[in-house]
Every structure is written in structure tokens, then in C-alpha cells.
């Protein structure tokens, strides 16, 4: 999460090229949305007993349990993406490569707004990410697969999201205060859908989907000196600080 925020901080909308980052989580961890309070939504005693780390994202939304997944983050300027009619519509624009990726894997993937039954309420805020459905959440065979969140800052768009290889939603739910089984019932993973779960193969497929969808050429890169410095500072002042991770506060 420190790297994600460093990429956001260091991005110059007037000069920087867009950045796509692909990564994973080891060991598994819980991430809180930017405005959540850990004590209000998580069973902290169980988290401590199981040694499950808790970290705060720079984006909003509900709790996500990150385990056995491929995660992406994307940083760009509004003018570097296809036109979007609104901030909400930019979710559709920026997740278009995910639809292409899932469909290339043979999944019947679509946006919730396009396939939800008449009368379905979309956009309800939930403490557990996978319990709710936004208009441009992606459904595979009618079940929510992964989650995406966005933040805008000084002319910059930051978005990240999870692609679950295997379904650990029930495990994540077990660390919540509200453990109603239905909160994890409508979720899916690549394994659930009978799709490929080999990480190296998936990285090749998602980069191909991204390049093809946006008409760009991707080049491998490493963190710049500024990004490394920002990451180090953020680890020290935020991501190694319980007050930040649990409460969203810093000294």
C-alpha cells in the first residue's frame, strides 16, 4: 500500500506516463477502506489471535481480505484515458481491460448495471467489500469477482483492484463484526469459474488485455528514486503505524 500511495504522490499529470502495477499479497492481509475504523468493522481480537495484518488503503470502500490474488494499480491523468462522461463513468472506462481479460479466460463477464435483474439496488455502501455491488462492478456468471476502487488527487486518477485466483471471501468474512453468511454468498474467483489460476500466465494475459484494450505498449520498469523515497517515508509514518492502519490517523 505504501508503493501504491508513492506512485500516486509521485505522478506528474503534465509529464508522467501512465503506470500499471501488478502485485500480490504474502502473507494474506485485510485492507480497510480509507474512511473505515477497524474497531467498528473488524473482530480485532480474532485478527490478533490469527496474526492477520491490517492495512489501510488510500481508496474508499469496504474491507477486503487479500489472499491468493492478482492485484493491479493504475495511475494516470484524466486526459490519458478515453473520454468519460463522469467520475463514475471513468470506472467503466478504466475497468474495460478487466472485462477483456476475464472474457479471454472464457468467463461470462459483464458489468452489474448491464445484467442485474430489474429492481436490483446498486451502489449501497457495505462494510465488507464483496457484500455490495456498484454499477460497474464486474460479475462473472452472475457473481461478483474482485473489487475496484478509485481516488482522484491533483489532476491524477488512481485506481486499484483485486482479481481473486481462489475464493477466500468466507475467510475474510470471519474477521468481520457482521458475519452474515449472505455477505460472501455472491462472490466468485477464477477457480470457481474454471479459469486459469497460474499467476505467470495470468500476468501475460492481463498485460495483453490492457495493451489491446487501450492501444498502448507496456514497458517494464522499476520504482524511481523519488517513488522509493516516498515509499520509505510512507512506511515509517503511516503503514507501520497502528493509528493509521486502524484509525486513519497519524501523529
Residue 121: what pLDDT? Answer: 66
Fold classification of 2-247 is BirA Bifunctional Protein; domain 2 (3.30.930)
Report the catalytic residues: 129
State the Cα angle at 249 between 151 and 94, rounded to 5°.
10
Instruction: Give yes or no for residue 120 having a pLDDT over 70.
Output: no
pLDDT exceeding 70 applies to what percent of the chain? 96
pTM for the full model?
A: 0.93
d(CA 63, CA 241): 18
> Over the stretch 199-225, which tens digit does the pLDDT of each residue have?
999 999 999 999 999 999 999 999 999
Model confidence band, residue 7 (pLDDT cutoffs 50, 70, 90): very high
Model confidence band, residue 249 (pLDDT cutoffs 50, 70, 90): confident
Please provide the size of the chain in residues.
251
Instruction: Give yes or no for residue 20 having a pLDDT over 80.
Output: yes
Amino acid at each position: 500500500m505504501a508503493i501504491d500511495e508513492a506512485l500516486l504522490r509521485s505522478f506528474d499529470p503534465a509529464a508522467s506516463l501512465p503506470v500499471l502495477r501488478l502485485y500480490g499479497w504474502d502473507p494474506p492481509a485485510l485492507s480497510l477502506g480509507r474512511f473505515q475504523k477497524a474497531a467498528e468493522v473488524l473482530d480485532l481480537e480474532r485478527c490478533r489471535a490469527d496474526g492477520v495484518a491490517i492495512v489501510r488503503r488510500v481508496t474508499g470502500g469496504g474491507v477486503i481480505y487479500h489472499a491468493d490474488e492478482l492485484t493491479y494499480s493504475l495511475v494516470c491523468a484524466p486526459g490519458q484515458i478515453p473520454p468519460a462522461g463522469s467520475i463514475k463513468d471513468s470506472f467503466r472506462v478504466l475497468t474495460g481491460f478487466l472485462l477483456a481479460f476475464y472474457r479471454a479466460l472464457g468467463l461470462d463477464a459483464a458489468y452489474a448495471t448491464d445484467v442485474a435483474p430489474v429492481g436490483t439496488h446498486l451502489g449501497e455502501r457495505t462494510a465488507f467489500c464483496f457484500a455490495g455491488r456498484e454499477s460497474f462492478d464486474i460479475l462473472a456468471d452472475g457473481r461478483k469477482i474482485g473489487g475496484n476502487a478509485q481516488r482522484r488527487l491533483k489532476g491524477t486518477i488512481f485506481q486499484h483492484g483485486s482479481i481473486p485466483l481462489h475464493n477466500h471471501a468466507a475467510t475474510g468474512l470471519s474477521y468481520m463484526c457482521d458475519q452474515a453468511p449472505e455477505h460472501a454468498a455472491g462472490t466468485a474467483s477464477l477457480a470457481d469459474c474454471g479459469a486459469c489460476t497460474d499467476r505467470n500466465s495470468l500476468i501475460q494475459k492481463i498485460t495483453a488485455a490492457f495493451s489491446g484494450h487501450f492501444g498502448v505498449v507496456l514497458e517494464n520498469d522499476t520504482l524511481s528514486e523519488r517513488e522509493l523515497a516516498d515509499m520509505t517515508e510512507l512506511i515509517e509514518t503511516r503503514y507501520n503505524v497502528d493509528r493509521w492502519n486502524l484509525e486513519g490517523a497519524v501523529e
